[in-house]
Structures are given as C-alpha cells and as structure tokens.
Amino acid sequence: RMEGFGCYTLPTGTEYRGWLWDGMFHGPGELVLPSGGGYRALWVRGVPTQGKFTFADGLEYDEEKWHYCDGYDRRFYTEICSGFKPPG
C-alpha cells in the first residue's frame, strides 16, 4: 500500500499531491483538477475534514460569503468582473 508523501494521478486526470497512509489520503494534501482548479484539505483516512476549493481563475469558494450565482444575483464571477460577453 502507498504510504508517505507522494503524487497519485486518478483515471480522470485529477492529481493528488500529499500524504498517504495505508493507501488512503491522510494528512495535508491537494487534489489538482485538469481544468486548473483544486481542493486543498486536511484528510483523515480518505475523508476531507476541512478544506478549500479554488477555481482555475484563483477564486476561492467560501460557503458563508459566496456572492456569485446565488438566488438573488444569477451572474457568475467572470460576468461580475468582466461584464457579459456576446453569445457564440
């Protein structure tokens, strides 16, 4: 089984970089998505106990202070920053 610090690429192309214990994510580690986003977390026996998702453009998801594409304002982060782009 995998143990210690390492990098593991999943079949989807997502890469895990961090600590492993008994073949599971365990300790600080990060999932790096092919799109450029990522999820950095503290893992306990394969389960994230606390973490932060960051989109490819650098925007961090915050459940408490999320102001994008909610029930009141349906615009995405890029639309708020750059305005609407024409279709096509």
Give the pLDDT confidence score for residue 75 in this predicted structure.
63
Q: Quick check: is 42 in a domain?
A: yes
Let me know if residue 88 belongs to a domain.
no
- pLDDT at residue 61, rounded to an integer: 81
Rounded average pLDDT per 10-residue block, the chain, 88 residues: 90 95 94 94 94 87 68 64 70
pLDDT of res. 66 = 65
CA distances, 51 to each of 4, 24, 72, 79 (Å): 20, 17, 26, 26
Q: How many Cβ atoms are within 10 Å of 15's Cβ, its own excluded?
A: 15
Q: Residue 9 belongs to what domain range?
A: 4-82
User: Does 24 map to a domain?
Assistant: yes
Number of separate domains in the chain: 1
**pLDDT recorded at residue 18:** 96
In a domain, 28, yes or no: yes
Model confidence pTM above 0.85? no
Residue 27's pLDDT is 95
